[in-house]
Each structure stands twice: as structure tokens, then as C-alpha cells.
Amino acid sequence: MFSSYSILVLCFGGLARAATVTYDFNITWVTANPDGLLNRPVIGINGQWPLPYITATIGDRVVVNVLNQLGNETTSLHFHGIYQNGSTEMDGVTGVSQCPIQPGGSFTYNFTIDQPGTYWYHSHETAQYPDGLRGPLIVNDPNSPYKGQYDEEMVLTVSDWYHDQVPKLMKSFISVTNPTGAEPVPKSALMNDTYNLTTPVEPGKTYMFRIINVGAFAGQYFWFEGHTMRIVEVDGIYTEAAEADLIYITAAQRYSVLVTMRNDTSTNYAFVGSMDQSLFDTVPASLNPNGTGWLVYDDTAPLPTPAILDTFNDFDDLTLVPTDGEELLGPVDYSFNLDLKMDTLGDGANYAFFNDITYVRPKVPTLYTALSAGDLANNATIYGINTNPHVLQHNDVIEIVVNNNDTGKHPFHLHGHALQAAARSDEDAGQYVGNETLGAVPMRRDTFMVRPMGNIVLRFRADNPDKSPFPLPYHTFPSTLSYSLVTLSANTTSPRIWFFHCHIEWHVASGLIATMIEAPSLLQSTLSIPPDHYDVCKAQNLPFAGNAAGNDVNFLDLTGAPEPPGPLPAGFTPRGIVALVFSCLSAFLGIAVISWYGAGEIGKQEPGKGTKEAVVAAGVEDETKDVGLGVTES
């Protein structure tokens, strides 16, 4: 076992060779028009949008100082795909690892990156990032297995885009007027947060394109016309090179592909990201689902219109082979099903469920509950049934079977880990029955898509934070030497709280989430929460100790814990709710028309016989102005 002194020397020796990259992010509203169709408010950083890239080299320490200057919204930052070894408090999920950052509040994210690859950052607060708070995060690797096989790198984001802001979209999405749960349909598809993107290239050169879907909803089919892609990395996992003409990128997934340019400059070539319209309940006639860019060999030559594809024969990512050859994990220590469904609750709105539970944010962030619960940290009850908690023991092999009892595709993401896909069914295969053939060296990534009415079997080892050589509870230079010795000599394995959720942002908002509480039996190995993290809770009078109900006296008393609406009364169906709502609207409209007609008749009477003057003279409040305005607006 290392002494405190030897650990200190080893850790600081490593830090001396690595760099610290610091970003100061003032999060503000700005105006932008990325699709050329509408100027609208978007969330920018330091007064600019699109947002800056975060770039680092493997081993670097990243410090992001956040100041929330939105004025009217709370916020946070999550670093998607970064495992946060030893720094779960920096994961950025409100209600899980932190309180939301209030307007005017500040917060520092401080962590070491020990993994290379293509990632991104985004808000993890109340479906906020579709309003623009998302950007690339690139971790360079001096020892990449593909070093020397390409000439340049390019980052290419694809996304869907909405004209209405998220609060308005959310109000209409989770609503009695939308009992079927139809998700908002985007207005446009973007590339690098713009349209008609041009990318200068040189003949014969090979480029590595880091492609990131930063959208809220739509998966995208992606291809380069006249060129072949060689996939070499997905979600931070190096793969054996595999050729593909077309790939499917769900929301939150990433691909790095090598593309070699042709040896002449006679023609420019389009590349296309086409939104998966099968996800949309309705497709507006005005929708252009394609975002188009061009590989520009000659800037004086025309930009050709891309060809129309009748079918999309996309590449199966489960056929990829990780270069590290990691075999299927087993034997399984803990396996559980997450059965997915969409259903309507008593408020008439549609919600998403795992095992009949729709997620509701607890009063106390789940991490803070674990840190304050003592010996009860192993008891899933304290985290609240509506966080869908699963307690995982340290180093166990975990198997999650997702049965998709829904007619839509769902991209599932786990924080803190990469997932092995042991098996994935075809569409309409039904629930997993356990007799499928499992891959010997399964594909691994942090976001996998499950097909409609199908299933997927996912495995991982509950080993975070032990994957990095020297995980520290608090990745920063200690303020005093005595603090350094105490921290470094402590058992650095402490509980980790990770989200598992669908990465369609509308489904996150409607509750398609489970919580993984990893290694809570090791709670007594301290995790230091920086003071500014607690300060944002204090500033909003939010509790930061206790169970899901905020009870820090009796952790088993969940009285007052946040709950979803009650169940739908027996006999009601979404179709019935729609009929009821529109019947009521028709009734109100009829009453309004009668009132308007009646008001017109009253206006014809002589003074003293029911006119406005007579009503006022009788001492009754005049409401005819409001009635008139209501009829005019309707």
C-alpha cells in the first residue's frame, strides 16, 4: 500500500506533466438565426453563440468557472461521456449531483480527464439545452492507435432546431391537450449550428471527422456523397476500422470517421444529415429534414444538390469491435429489467415510465442524500421511489435489460461508464427472454439505441472511480498541506451516483430515468463537496442533506417527497381525453358566441332597459369589456 508521501509524490508528479485548462463561462441570452428562418433568443456563453469548444489532452485537469447570467432560468453543465472518475460531484446533473445554479450564481467544475475521444457538454437542467446550451468537448490522445493515419481533424455537429423556446414547448408537450405524448417536431436540421455548411478540403488528404449529434430529439442518417467513411471511434471507444457508406447517429452519440479525399478537384461533394422522420408523430409538409454541407475542392465550382435517398441502409454499430478486445463481462452479479412504457396520468398528460415509475426530482440531490445518510446509504428507500433507485455494490458486474414496450426508438445513456451491448433485438421482437446469443467481444459505448418494441441487454462493471490510477475525491490543488495529507491518505473510493436515461430530451423531461447508486457501502471514505456547490443550494433555500423528502432526522420517513400526478381514473383513455378536451373547448366556444350575440342584442336596447348605463347605474361591475376582448382573441 502506498504511503501518504509516496501518493503525494506520484500524484503531483503526474499533475506536473499534465496541463490545467481553464474556461470562464458567463452564460447569457443572445440572439441567433442558425437556420436562416427566424431570429430567436438562444443561450450563449460570453455573449456568443455557437458555443466554444472545450479541448484538452488526456491527463489534463479541466476547470470550468460558470456564472449564470440568464436572469430568468437556473442552469448547470454536464460533460457528456466523461466518466468523472473520483469526481461524481462534477457530473452536473441537477437533483442528482448538485443543486441548480441560480440566476446570478456561480459554480466551478473541476475534474481530471483520463480518457481520450469525442464528447460534448450541455445543460442538464429541465430540458434546457435545446435552447442552445451545448457544444463539443474534444480530448486529444498523443498515443491514439490511428495517429499518423490522417492529416487533419474536423469537428462536425448535427442537430435538430426549434423556433419556440423550451418553456413554451414543454408547456404544450406535458399537457392535457397532448395526452398521446407527441413530441415537438423540429423546424430544421443544422450542421455546426448553421445551414449550407462549406468545408474546404485538399485532394488526397485524409481527414478525421468527429461527428456529434447535439440534438434534442432526432436521430440522423449521415453520409458523404462519393466518399467512404472508416469508423475508428464511437463515444470515446476506439474501434477496429470499419467501412460504412451511411451511419445512424442518435441524439448524444458520437462517431469519429476517417475520410480520404479524391485526387482531383473537378467536383465538390455534398454531405448530408437527414433527420429520422419515423420519430415524429406528424411530419409538417413544410419540413426540410436535411442539413447539408459540402466538401469543397474548388470554391469556384458549383455546390451540387445532394441525391435523394429512397431507403437508409445504415451501419449496425453492434458489429464494431473495440480495439482493446474487452470480453463480455461476467458472471453477472446483479441483473434487473427496465420495462419502458408511455402512459397518461391523472392530470391528462403523457409521461414516460421504467417499471411503472416516472422519475420525479427529489428535494435533496441524490448524491447529497448518500453523503448524509450514514449506514442507511445502502437502503434504496431513502432516495425516494420516484428516483427509480438501484443500489449497486462495488465492482459487481451489472446487467440492465431494457424492454422497449413503445413504438419509438430510444437512445439510452449511462453516466460514469461505457456500456457493453451484449445483445440487441430487431424491431418488434418483444421482451428479452434470455436465450439470445451474446457477443464474445461486445461493442461498447455510452449511448445505445433500442429499437421499437424490441430490447437490449447492457452490461458494465460498477468500478467507477477505480478505473483511474490515482482518483482523488477533489481534483484541485489543496489549500493546505495538512488537507492534502488527509485527503490522499483516505480511502478514495466513495459512493457514486449515476443517471441512466433516454437521451431524447422530451423523454428525460417526462420521466424516462433511473438512478444508479454505486458503492454506497463505502460511504465513510470521504468525498469532499466544494463550498461553492453547497452555496448554490443555500442561496435558494434548497436542502442539501437528508432523504428525498429533505428529512435529515428520520431518513426512512419519506413524507412530503415529490410525487408525480396520480393515476388516470379507470375507464379513461388518451383518445377519450382528447375527445373530452375538444368537447369542452367546443362548449366554451359556443358559450362565447352566444355571449357575443347576446351582447349585440343588448346594445340595441334603449337606455334604462338592460343597457350598459342601466347596469352601471344599478351598481353592478361592468364586465362587457373583458367579454368582448375574450371573444375577439378567440
Q: Which three cell numbers stand for residue 495?
A: 459512493
- Poorest-pLDDT segment among 158-167, 359-368, 476-485, 523-532: 476-485
In the predicted structure, residue 595 carries a pLDDT above the cut 70? no
pLDDT for the residue numbered 522: 72
135 forms beta bridges with 121
Work out whether strand 152-161 and strand 188-191 pair parallel, antiparallel, or are unpaired: antiparallel
CA 389 to chain centre: 19
With CA atoms as reference, report the closest residue to 546 among 535, 533, 557.
557
The string over 128-164, giving b where at least 16 C-beta atoms fall within 10 Å of a residue's C-beta and e elsewhere, is: bbbbbbbbbbbbebeebebeeebeeeebbbbbbbbeb
In the predicted structure, residue 481 carries a pLDDT above the cut 60? no
pLDDT for the residue numbered 629: 27
Mean pLDDT, range 424-437, rounded to an integer: 93
385 backbone dihedrals φ, ψ, rounded to 5°: -60, -30
pLDDT for the residue numbered 134: 98
Indicate the helix (H) or strand (E) that contains 419: strand 419-424
**What is the dihedral angle through the alpha carbons of 179, 181, 186, 189, rounded to the nearest 10 degrees?**
-170
pLDDT for the residue numbered 12: 44
pLDDT for the residue numbered 622: 36
- 59-80 pLDDT, tens per residue? 999 999 999 999 999 999 999 9
Q: How many residues does the chain have?
A: 634
Mean pLDDT, range 437-458, rounded to an integer: 97
Mean pLDDT, range 165-176, rounded to an integer: 98
pLDDT for the residue numbered 183: 98
Mean pLDDT, range 574-598, rounded to an integer: 52
Mean pLDDT, range 405-426, rounded to an integer: 97
Residue % of the chain over a pLDDT of 70: 82
- 365-409 pLDDT, tens per residue? 999 999 999 999 999 999 999 999 999 998 999 999 999 999 999
DSSP for 157-184? EEEEE-SS-HHHHHHHHSSTT-TT-PPP
Name the band, by pLDDT with cuts 50, 70 and 90, for residue 576: low
With CA atoms as reference, report the closest residue to 77 among 108, 49, 116.
108
Contact between 146 and 232 under an 8 Å Cβ cutoff? The reply is yes
Name the band, by pLDDT with cuts 50, 70 and 90, for residue 170: very high
User: What residues contact residue 301 under an 8 Å CB cut-off, 6+ apart?
Assistant: 265, 266, 267, 268
pLDDT for the residue numbered 519: 87
Mean pLDDT, range 131-146, rounded to an integer: 98
212 forms beta bridges with 157, 254
Q: What is the pTM of this model?
A: 0.86
**What is the dihedral angle through the alpha carbons of 359, 360, 364, 366, rounded to the nearest 10 degrees?**
0
pLDDT for the residue numbered 626: 32
CA 534 to chain centre: 24
Task: Tell the residue number behind the cell numbers 446487467, with chain if given.
Answer: 399
Average pLDDT value for the chain: 86
The string over 288-310, giving b where at least 16 C-beta atoms fall within 10 Å of a residue's C-beta and e elsewhere, is: ebbbbbbbbbeeeeebeebeeee
Complete edge-to-edge strand list for the sheet that includes strand 54-57: 54-57, 134-140, 117-122, 78-80
Name the band, by pLDDT with cuts 50, 70 and 90, for residue 570: confident
28 forms beta bridges with 44
- 207-231 pLDDT, tens per residue? 999 999 999 999 999 999 999 999 9
pLDDT for the residue numbered 437: 87
CA 333 to chain centre: 28
pLDDT for the residue numbered 588: 53
**What is the dihedral angle through the alpha carbons of 479, 485, 487, 491, rounded to the nearest 10 degrees?**
170
DSSP for 334-359? EEEEEEEEEEEBTTS-EEEEETTB--
